[in-house]
Structure 1
Amino acid sequence: MTTTVEKRWLKHYPEEIPTSIQYPERSLQSFLKEAAEQVPDKKAIHFLGKELSYQELYTLSKKFANQLQGIGVKKGDRVAIMLANTPQSVICYYGALMAGAIVVQTNPLYVEREIEHQMNDSGAKVIVCLDLVYPRVAKVRNKTNLEHVIVTGIKDYLPFPKNLIYPFIQKKNTGITVNITYDAKTLNFAEFLKAGSEKELDIKVSPKEDLALLQYTGGTTGVAKGVMLTHHNLVTNTTQCLHWMYKMEKGEGRVLAALPFFHVYGMTVIMNVSIMYQSKMIVVPKFEPKDVLKTIDKQKVTIFPGAPTMYVALINHPEIKNYDLSSIEACLSGAAPLPLEVQQSFEKLTGGKLVEGYGLTETSPVAISTPIWGKRKEGSIGVPWPDTEAAVLSAETGEFCEPGEVGEIIIRGPQVMKGYWNRPEATAATFKDDWFLTGDMGYMDEDGYFYIVDRKKDMIIAGGFNIYPREIEEVLYEHDKIQEAVVIGVPDPYRGETVKAFVVLKEGTSLTEEELNKYCRENLAAYKVPKLYEFRNELPKTLIGKILRRVLVDEEKAKYADKANEDNKQTS
């Protein structure tokens, strides 16, 4: 296989973006220390009225780091963070890194089986979780290597009197009252932090070798794998992002943190970018369209990284004209394809720029993006970032495709992962020489702009979440009344795609949609639960009995197209 590529895209870089960058050989947490030294009184976080300066954030992170050491966390140990977007999630992230730990970001929506797998696979010794999810963690902790569970709540960083009122609002909204018995192994976050020392820990870090993060991702097999990202991977991708957003002045940005930090995209383009560039993070625990509109208006947000569903929700909000969104300068959309009409509508509303980025957990995550203030092409995901190479690999020849030819998109660059945690075979299978195989099919045009024509074979992207059908199918197959099941993504005007399950019941049994939905909700995170079910007598199969998933996908696409045509006829 040829190893050199013609970097056609470089001639389309705006002159402000360098084609190559000198990356700092530093740990990720060193940037928080630098911010505390350079702008100690500048506000780092705004959270529902509560604000923390860079000095306060650094001090709290040091306290957390020292307390982790006090309970036995050593360099290389894994610390899981299972939090919504809150000040605690930033404190714990940087504090764990200061202690020399490897962060394991854990989705708060995970159910017991998912938590158990991730804790066992990573070998995490400590988990920090919200009080609302503690019951799920408590049910599986004895089946894992967890030695300590640290529990916090949204109210812990709310200003007075919101901190007093919030528990009542939480109970009203969720119907959940959590009673926690604290002891030597189950710790109250606020008390844990209060007792911490402010001394600086001297943990030596080798940026290119030492892991900062285990970020779990599925695969075409549906098996969740820990992506090993080093300090250097994350520092380089954050640095690349800052150069891409070259009009953003250091210390001046106000970044809306609506994307979850537990997702690698939100973690890099919001949290790490903000800390490195000493910006103010406007943190919201949950994306609620009206609250976000109010926040943009009041806080004069300048940078709004998001997912297409977020922009769709805002554009279509009935009260959008009541809010001033003109402070927005740049938005980098990721996690799912960005429809052109959404891009155009949002730019018209705000006057800012909205462009699409492409990447994977394995690339920290961004590898390719449309220039924010440069040449765009309709339907294109853009061009590779500085020091990043991309090419299209032919499945037939194993060589690079010519412009316009479809093949598998492959990537190499300093942001590409070290490998999969404890999975050398999976690591070897996803690399060809030093190229990372994305599994996404696409092509490059004559100018070096890239286009996606199909995603990983079976993966569903719904509302920005990667959903792997096999995982859902395994849950369905565990039901004692189900004989066969297959899960696909079907078109959805809001989420991009939504999950549909086709089910064949065992002879002589009966099962309602409501019963099946209840079962799925008990065994899957909410975003993985099918939104549509169809019971069939049989599923299409090959001669050897393999279910023909693609036939079902094509049927659903045809139905969607027919409905769209009918709707157009009625409105014309």
Structure 2
Amino acid sequence: MEDSAHSTRTPMKPFGESIRSPFASVREMWRSAIEAAPDSPFIHSFERTLTFAEVDERADRLAAALHRSGIGPDDRVAVYAQNDPLFVIGLLATWRLGGIVVPVNPMNTARELRYHLADSEARALITIPGLYDTVARDALDGSAVQVTVVGEHQRWVQENSAIRIETVPVPTELPAGVITAEAAYSSPGELPAEPGSGAADTAVLTYTSGTTGRPKGAMNTHGNLVFNAESYIEITGLQTGQPILGIAPLFHITGMVGHIMLAVRAHCPIVLSHRFNAEVMLETIRRRKPVLAVGAITALMALADSPARRDGDFDSLESVFSGGAPIAPALGDRLERVLGAYVHNVYGMSETASPTHAVPRGERAPVDPASGALSIGKPIYNTTCRVVAETGEDCRPGEYGEILSRGPQITPGYWHNPEATAQAFVDGFLRTGDVGFVDEQGWYYLVDRKKDMINASGYKVWPREVEDVLYSHPAVSEAAVVGVADAYRGETVKAFVTLKTGAQATEDELRDYCKANRAAYKYPRQIEVLDELPKTATGKILRRVLRD
């Protein structure tokens, strides 16, 4: 679809212009939405719809319940749910008290959740029944969490060839310190005076992996979030009331900003369906007719390839944006034919509150003739980017180097980690760790990752996280993990191991062991047992040789 076909689309400001948000904090942005559109739909979740006012009332009552449990300004509240209304309500309730949200990947195991709770020093946890019973109950043991909120939700269930929607209730027997969201919603409670939130105050701790392999909490500020909400409005051309397809996970920075923050700023509904399933998502699209989709290329591919797809399914889509992994030119062309809309690249990371680069609306990304790479876009509003060599000098157009970014969307640093913060910045620019180049026209291209990070379907996996699990297996002597090409995920995780003398372990056994201790996107799909791993003269394992 061409932009000119939709007269409601506002002209896009050139990236060279500056923009600013009229709001200093997410709280101010939310209050403005409530005043402007209280009765407008804000969340569509299967057959249920909640208005802005209804979500506000639930958030206030949940905030009151948290307040009664001692939660207040600057306290960390972990939100551990799928793409459910409770996730959004939990965010707003935390910010109503001046707290800091810790979004947790719902695919995380108890071991991983335990780390996030401990590192953030979270004092509250908001979750759903299934995750509470299978993961959180165990992870909470010995934690500093004072109160846990469990809220019912709806989910899809596949039975043979049919899919049905069911409500998952909260367990009737709950231990002390655990309350239900439904009890909070039915009890008004008393709220403290609303604390002020400035642009520099931390709104979210978005956990990512760094050069040490330990997940680090990027301190995304209120200013970071509201600026990129403003950026997304300009980039996408979204108009008031136009539905946003909630295809990206809400815990991820793309879902957090490209769905929730954008919806709040534009007074638009978010269309949620618990967790991704192509057939469920297609039915949701038919019913809710979203105008905008911002998601991983693998999810867009799954929609395009689904046998459940019908002609006309994507007619409502006016804009499609993809982040998380570069798009191959041939794949972009194929998706455009199926979706009816050109897929624009956006580029960013947790530390940048989503985009620093984007392909401008109405333009097409050029393809580098030498590498065949499709451009990730141009630096967006108020954002300055550089490509620097190992010497720290700026590269000339076409020369490979590390991409650096500076702008109002970029985190001031990592939670309680000044060393990592110092390493991440140079002369006020964030070091992305990604290798690329810029052409004469200012288009940026991503060539490779400087770090050994694996990018599986847009999810980042640090090899040491997987290696640490393998080393804990009694039969494993050495382990090395690399990313290998995968037609569907872009990259997938592969492990090479050697076994202890006399020990035995099958590849399936090792894979199942990793699967039980790491999120589903992290465990190695491929495992190869070798007699010896290649090493340097000093004994360092050569991942590069294994990858090659």
TM-score normalised over the length of structure 1: 0.88
SS at match of 1:358: strand
Report the CA distance between 1:62 and its aligned residue. 1.4
Question: Of 420, 423, 426, which aligns to 2:414?
Answer: 420
**Structure 1 SS opposite 2:218:** strand
Point out where structure 1 has 5 or more consecutive residues left out of the alignment. 1-12, 159-163, 171-176, 555-572
Other-structure match for 2:463: 469
Aligned pairs for 1:260-275 (under 5 A) are: 260-275=249-264
Please state how far the C-alpha of 1:31 moved relative to its aligned partner: 2.1
Deviation at 1:155, TM superposition (A): 3.8
Counterpart in the other structure of 1:245: 236
1:189 aligns with 2:188: no
From the superposition, tell whether residues 402 and 69 of structure 1 become closer, same or farther in structure 2 (CA, over 3 Å). Answer: same
> What is the alpha-carbon distance in structure 1 between the residues aligned to residue 543 and residue 39 of structure 2?
57
Alpha-carbon offset, residue 510 of structure 1: 0.8
Q: For 1:427-471, what per-residue CA distance to the aligned partner results, in whole angstroms no more than 9, with x for missing partners?
A: 011111211111111111001111111014211111121111111
Aligned to 2:17, what secondary structure does the other structure show?
coil
Alignment coverage as a number of residue pairs: 525
Secondary structure at 2:540 match in 1 = coil
Residues 84 and 153 of structure 1: CA distance in aligned 2, closer, same or farther (over 3 Å): same
1:150 aligns to what?
149
Stretches (4+) displaced over 4 A: 13-18, 177-180, 198-201
The question of whether the paired residues in 2 share the 8 Å contact of 1:327 and 1:350 is answered with no
Give the equivalent residue in structure 1 for 2:370.
Answer: none
Q: Please tell me whether the aligned partners of residues 392 and 407 of structure 1 are also in contact (alpha carbons under 8 angstroms).
A: yes
Distance 1:432 1:17, change over 3 A: closer
* AA of the residue aligned to 1:450: Y
Aligned-partner Cα distance in 2 for 1:409–1:62:
42
Given the superposition, is the C-alpha separation of residues 197 and 273 from structure 1 closer, same or farther in structure 2, using an over 3 Å criterion? same
Q: Which of 364, 384, 396 pairs up with 1:389?
A: 384
Q: Aligned residue for 1:565? A: none
Are 1:493 and 2:487 counterparts? yes
Deviations 1:130-161 (A, max 9, x none): 11111322213232111111112324999xxx
Matching residue's letter, 1:112: A
Task: Give the corresponding residue for 1:452.
Answer: 446
1:86 to 57, 72, 84: 84
Moved more, 346-355 or 13-22: 13-22
Contact map agreement 1:33 1:58 (CA 8 A) in 2: no
Q: Distance in 2 between matches of 1:180 and 1:516?
A: 37
Query: 1:156–1:98: structure 2 CA closer, same or farther, 3 Å change rule?
Result: farther
The whole-number CA distance in structure 2 between the counterparts of 1:347 and 1:52 is 32
8 Å CA contact 2:150, 2:170 repeated in 1: no
Q: Distance in 2 between matches of 1:481 and 1:463?
A: 30
Give per-residue Cα distances to partners, 1:88-142, cap 9 Å, x unaligned: 1111111110111000001111112111111111000000111111132221323
| 8 Å Cα contact 1:62-1:198 kept in structure 2 | no
Tell me how far apart the structure 2 counterparts of residues 185 and 361 of structure 1 sit (CA, whole Å): 32
Q: 1:362 aligns with which of 326, 342, 351?
A: 351
Query: Contact conserved, 1:502 with 1:534, CA < 8 A, in 2?
Result: yes
**Counterpart pick for 1:213 among 204, 220, 239:** 204
The answer to whether the aligner puts 1:514 opposite 2:512 as a matched pair is: no
State the one-letter code of the partner of 2:105: N
Task: Determine helix, strand or coil for the equivalent of 1:95.
Answer: helix
* TM-superposition CA deviations, 1:309-352 (whole Å, max 9, x none): 01111222223234521110111101112222222222222322
Q: 1:399 aligns with which of 393, 403, 426?
A: 393
Query: What are structure 2's unaligned runs of at least 5 residues?
Result: 1-10, 158-163, 368-373
Matches within 5 A, 1:100-115: 100-115=98-113
- Which residue matches 1:166? 166
CA contact (8 A) 1:486 1:501 kept: yes
Worse-superposed segment, 84-93 or 456-465: 456-465
Is the counterpart of residue 429 in structure 1 residue 427 in structure 2? no
Aligned residues: percent identity?
Answer: 36
**8 A Cα contact 1:220 1:456, kept in partner:** no
Structure holding more helix per residue = 1
Q: 1:225 aligns with which of 212, 216, 229?
A: 216
Match of 1:21 in 2: 19
**How far is 1:198 from its partner?**
7.7
Maintained 8 Å contact 1:293/1:323: no
Shift of 1:55: 1.1
Task: Determine if contact 2:80/2:106 at 8 Å carries over to the other structure.
Answer: yes
Residue identity matched to 2:503:
T
Change (3 A) 1:202 1:178: closer
- Give the C-alpha shift of residue 183 in structure 1: 4.3
Letter of the structure 2 residue corresponding to residue 222 of structure 1: G
1:341-389 Cα distance to aligned partner (Å, 9 max, x none)? 2222222223223111111111012101111212521211010000001
Which position in structure 1 is the counterpart of 2:371?
none
| In structure 2, C-alpha distance between the alignment counterparts of 1:288 and 1:362, rounded to whole Å | 28
- The answer for the alignment partner of 1:65 in structure 2 is 63
Instruction: Give me the whole-angstrom Cα distance separating, in 2, the residues matched to 1:155 and 1:350.
Output: 28
SS in 1 for 2:303: helix
Deviation at 1:252, TM superposition (A): 2.9
Aligned partner of 1:89: which letter?
Answer: F
- State the SS of the aligned residue for 2:502: coil
2:227 is aligned to: 236
Distance 1:126 1:14, change over 3 A: closer
1:551 to 528, 539, 545: 545
CA distance in 2, matches of 1:14, 1:518: 49
**SS where residue 226 of structure 2 aligns?**
helix
SS class of match (2:361)? coil
CA contact (8 A) 2:13 2:234 kept: no
In the alignment, the residues of structure 2 paired with residue 182 and residue 72 of structure 1 have an alpha-carbon distance, to the nearest angstrom, of 19
Q: Identify which of 303, 321, 329 aligns with 1:314.
A: 303
Q: Structure 1 pair 523/535, CA: closer, same or farther in 2 (3 Å)? A: same
Change (3 A) 1:23 1:235: same
SS of corresponding position for 1:305: strand
In structure 2, C-alpha distance between the alignment counterparts of 1:514 and 1:553, rounded to whole Å: 21
- Per-residue deviation, 1:18: 6.1
Distance 2:120 2:52 in 1: 31
